[in-house]
Amino acid sequence: MKIDTGMIAEKYKNSLFSAAFSICRNAADADDVVQDTLIQYHTAVKEFESEEHIRAWLLRVAINKAKNLSLSVFRKAGVPLEDYMDTLVFETPESRGLMEEVLKLPEKYRIVVHLFYYEEYSVKEIAEILHTGESNVKVRLSRARKKLKEVLQEAWEDDDESGKI
């Protein structure tokens, strides 16, 4: 099974961008990763079992390309996180704050959080995409949640204290 590249690009470009950005933290690099991933899909002679298989393959390729780019000596200067966040639309101020904190996590936690919460993959599927064990994914998710809880709890406490004055 192979679906037209234009249809795949339209359907998955935002997911691929989000996954790449969570690693690169640079919009220009994430755009490059998406483009390179779609080119690789277009030129691939691989047959896919299903559209879900295509989606998982695309994410795996994008994650690997983003990691490689992040390690590159020639990496471009990043766009400040605040500038990128200003280009996104959030339903609530809390969701913006949460996304900012997720992007501050170490890469190994960012990517599992992104795949689990934003792409809605199961722990088993994430393990397959990242070529790691399910227990490793569970540990990373647990540690990421703990870090987010600590940071968000501090922010809530600061808000409570400032409101008392």
What's the CATH number where 131 sits? 1.10.10.10
Q: Tens digits of per-residue pLDDT, 91-135?
A: 777 777 788 888 889 989 988 998 998 888 999 999 998 889 999
How far is 35 from 84, CA to CA, in rounded Å? 19
Q: Which residues contact 98 (CB under 8 A, 6 or more apart)?
A: 148, 152
Taking alpha carbons only, the member of 17, 35, 37 closest to residue 27 is 17
What CATH number is attached to the domain comprising 15?
Answer: 1.10.1740.10
User: Do 111 and 165 belong to one domain?
Assistant: yes
pTM score: 0.69
Q: Tens digits of per-residue pLDDT, 55-87?
A: 999 999 999 999 888 776 455 455 566 666 666
3-state secondary structure of 1: coil
Among residues 85, 107, 131, the one where a domain terminates is 85
User: Do 109 and 78 belong to one domain?
Assistant: no
Total domains in the fold of the chain: 2
Question: What is the DSSP code (8-state) at residue 118?
Answer: I
User: Do 77 and 94 belong to one domain?
Assistant: no
Contact 75, 69 (CB under 8 A): yes
Give the Cβ contact number of residue 81 at 10 Å.
14
